[in-house]
Amino acid sequence: MSFLEYDFLVRALVAALFTGLAAPAVGTYLVQRRLSLMGDGIGHIAVTGVALGLLTGTSPTVTAVVVAIIGAVVIEVIREQGRTSGDVALALLFYGGIAGGVMLIGLAGQGANTLQTYLFGSILAIDSGDVWVTVVLAAVVVVVAVGLSPQLFAVAQDAEFARVAGLNVRFYNILVAVMAAVTVTVAMRTVGLLLVSALMVVPVATAQQVTRGFRTTLLLAMGLGTLASTGGLVTAAYVPNIPPGSTIVLLALAGFMAAWPLGVWLRRRQRLAAPFVATAEDDLALAADHTVVPESHAHEHGEDCGHAAVPHGDHVDYVHDGHRHAPHGSHYDEH
Amino acid sequence: MSAPEPVVRIRDGAVALGGRPVLRGIDLTVQQGEVVAVLGANGSGKSTLVRAMMGLVPTSRGEVSLFGTPLDDFHDWQRIGFVPQRVSATSGVPATVWEVVASGRLARRPFLRPLRAEDRAAVRDAIAAVGLSDRAKDGCATLSGGQQQRVLIARALAGDPDVLVLDEPTAGVDLVSQQAFADALGALVDRGATIILVAHELGPLAPLIGRTVVMRDGRVAYDGAPVATAHEVEHAGLAGQGHHHPDLQGRPSDHIPVVTSPLDQSARRGDA
């Protein structure tokens, strides 16, 4: 394939692969805590970090990692302390981050073009040092997110229970926040700070459409993220003038749009098959004045008879033209 | 020592939440094998009491010890099985019944290792104990409220705890599920488990209870032989000692701070 003859494309592909693997791994825990937009907030704050790097002449990646981690820990502390005013405090932090970044970049004498490479990514300009940083950080994030998944799952699922089970809930919460900050800065070069949250959240939302368990969701989201990031990069490489960040996110969204109808259908099927609640009155109704389906009901209900079979207490009801038929000896009862 | 350590001992415990005193003057000891129901009206402090036992809310004075160890030094968390109040078993990401129950095994399994055979067996047994074996691989979101509550109980059981602490386990749970739950709990009681149970109403659990603690207004108002409801204590005048508000008798005993405004007042008069 001629594609791999270009070194910069190979580097970009490696970076995209690892970003696509790490972002949904962390994103799963953010979605589980219903903090889908936290990645976006950290991205805003990281803008200040990038600007600080440009202003002081140090590596923007390093300053972005540091500022993003500080921001993520502050977000986590605000979330832990305040309950009602938490989201307002977060909003203040987000806007402060991006406004501060824009101001500092101005002070550093850098134009909008420099900022844009961080806001929307510049994966094709990535050098081999950046690739190594990306690979190592992303690998650490993936190992922690998958290796500690029982602990992280328990803490995000039910913090009080996790605490009584002896887990240090604050440590794990801050660990997730730090992992999110690291992922955001890693993905900064791939999809950009403004789009990184999409790569963290959209593959998880897509995976959820078809999964029932946490582990399968986590692994499927990581697979989908990798598919979107590498696929988006290859697409952008063949079409001139398209930033890879946009194709990566649009591909991820296309995946969601494809999975969504499937999810709707699966959930509908599940709802129809959900057991009818058995109450004490049901038994009474069966014993005494129950309604018998007319004898003309020649159809024999059973497996694969075409009518939905729904468990109801100790027996099965067959949904028949909007009412429920329950087998009772030689005839059927209306339920 | 000849006598076994008490499971929980609170001496002169007090809890303040956000500067507001919620519990005062709590002296409570639960021995091994006891089945204790903590009853009380909304806002009486019954949930706070069990949360203070496990260090989920800090005490402002007094001391709490678990199995004879002060709370700060207590690390044997696998001995405690906790069922929090009415947390749904679902979260932002789907999880199967098996996965949620397996998280109850965390205090017992080795760090960073896959589940061992004994862990799997414990999870399987816990799911069977609450009668959900056929739903183990299903997503929690597809279960009814009562079944989700049973999942949370199975999660606590999976850790093979010495004491089970349940906060309103049957609130909002349908009667069939309540009975299934009472049966599961009864099996544990027969095996000599210690159980501390916070409830608004006991329902099918009543026959299991060996001792009742009634909370009122942040104090222990009654501690003794089982009674069916907190109101029974109020009306029989059992709560003699420590009863500082005789004028409250016959009135609703909820002690949640009532927010009133001119419009509210007319509505309240209409109620009375």
Instruction: Give the one of A165, A208, A270 whose C-beta lies nearest to B107's C-beta.
Output: A165
Minimum distance, in Å, between the CA of residue A160 and any CA atom of chain B:
7
Chain A residues in contact with B175 (beta carbon < 8 A)? 279-280
Closest-approach residue (CA) in chain A for B97: A213
Identify the contact set of chain B against chain A, taking CB-CB distances under 8 A: 54-56, 75, 77-78, 80, 82, 84, 87, 91-96, 98-100, 102-104, 106-107, 109, 112, 137-139, 142, 144, 152, 155-156, 159, 165, 174-176
Here the CATH number for the domain that contains residue A54 is 1.10.3470.10
* A115 within a domain of the structure (yes/no): yes
What's the token pair of residue A121?
A: 């990514």
Which of B93, B142, B164, B196 should be substituted to probe chain A, the one whose Cβ sees the most A Cβ atoms within 10 Å?
A: B93
Q: Is residue A140 part of a domain?
A: yes
Q: Which of these three, A196, A225, A241, is where a domain ends?
A: A196
Q: Write down the residue that tokens 């693997």 correspond to.
A: A21
Are residues A165 and A25 part of one domain?
Answer: yes
Which pLDDT does position B243 carry in this prediction?
45
What is the C-alpha to C-alpha distance for residues B131 and B181, in angstroms, rounded to an integer?
Answer: 9
E strand or H helix at B164, and its extent?
Answer: strand B163-167
* Same domain (yes/no): A292, A172: no
Is residue A125 domain-shared with residue A22, that is, in the same domain? yes
pLDDT digits (tens, 9 = 90+) for A61-89: 889 999 999 999 988 888 887 665 567 77
pLDDT of residue A96 exceeding 70: yes
Integer Cα distance of A328 and A323 in angstroms: 16
Domain that holds residue A142: 2-196
**Count of alpha carbons within 13 Å of A31, Cβ hemisphere only?**
26
Report whether A204 contacts A38 (CB < 8 A): no
Distance in Å, alpha carbon of A166 to nearest chain B alpha carbon: 5
In this structure, is residue A233 part of a structural domain?
A: no
- Give B199 to chain A, closest Cα distance, Å: 18
Asked, for residue A264, whether it belongs to a domain, the answer is no
Q: Do residue A7 and residue A152 come from a single domain? A: yes
Mean pLDDT, range A191-200, rounded to an integer: 90
A10 and A130 in a single domain? The answer is yes
Instruction: Assess if residue A244 is contained within a domain.
Output: no
Q: What letter does residue B246 receive in the DSSP assignment?
A: G
**Lowest-confidence range among A108-117, A275-284, B81-90?**
A275-284
Residue A203 falls inside a structural domain = no
Number of domains chain A is built from: 2
Q: Which of A196, A217, A241 is the last residue of a domain?
A: A196
* A54 plus A158 within the same structural domain: yes
Q: Would the CA dihedral through A151, A153, A154, A159 be positive or negative?
A: positive
Q: What is the ipTM of this complex?
A: 0.79
Domain co-membership, A8 together with A142:
yes
Interface of A with B (CB under 8 A): 28, 31-34, 36, 147-148, 150-151, 153-154, 156-158, 160-167, 204, 208, 211-215, 217-218, 270, 274, 277-280
A contacts of B99 (beta carbons < 8 Å): 153, 213-215
Flag whether A263 is in a domain: no
Mark whether A44 and A180 lie in a shared domain: yes
Which of the listed residues A157, A179, A196 is the one where a domain comes to its end?
Answer: A196
Instruction: Provide the CB-side half-sphere exposure for A231 (13 A, CA).
Output: 15
B137 to chain A nearest CA, in Å? 8
Is residue B90 within 8 A of residue B148, CB to CB? The reply is yes
Note down pLDDT in tens along chain B; length 272 residues: 446 788 999 999 899 887 888 898 999 999 998 999 999 888 888 889 999 999 898 899 889 999 989 988 998 888 999 998 866 777 888 999 999 999 999 888 878 788 888 899 999 999 988 888 888 888 888 887 778 888 898 999 898 888 999 998 877 677 777 787 788 788 888 888 899 999 888 888 888 898 999 998 888 988 888 876 666 665 555 544 444 444 444 444 455 554 445 444 433 333 33
Task: Please give the pLDDT value at position A295.
Answer: 61
Helix, strand, coil in percent for chain A, rounding step 5: 70, 5, 25
Q: Which residue has the higher pLDDT, A290 or A306?
A: A306
Please tell me whether residues A285 and A188 are part of one structural domain.
no
Strand, helix or coil at B209?
coil
Q: Do B237 and B250 form a contact (C-beta atoms < 8 A)?
A: no
Is the Cβ pair A34, B91 closer than 8 Å? yes
Whether A238 maps to a domain, the answer reads no
CB contact under 8 A, B94 and A208: yes
Three-class DSSP category at A289: coil
* Interface probe, candidates A81, A155, A158, chain B, greatest B C-beta count within 10 A: A158
Residues A14 and A161 occupy one common structural domain: yes
Contacts 24+ apart (CB under 8 A), B53-56: B53/B8, B53/B10, B53/B165, B53/B196, B54/A163, B54/A164, B54/B80, B54/B82, B54/B165, B55/A163, B56/A160, B56/A163, B56/A164
Pair A181, A289 in one domain:
no
In this structure, are A173 and A286 located in the same domain? no
What's the start-to-end Cα distance of chain B, in Å?
Answer: 57
Q: Smallest Cβ distance to A164: which of B54, B93, B112?
A: B54
State how far residue A42 is from chain B, nearest Cα, in angstroms.
20
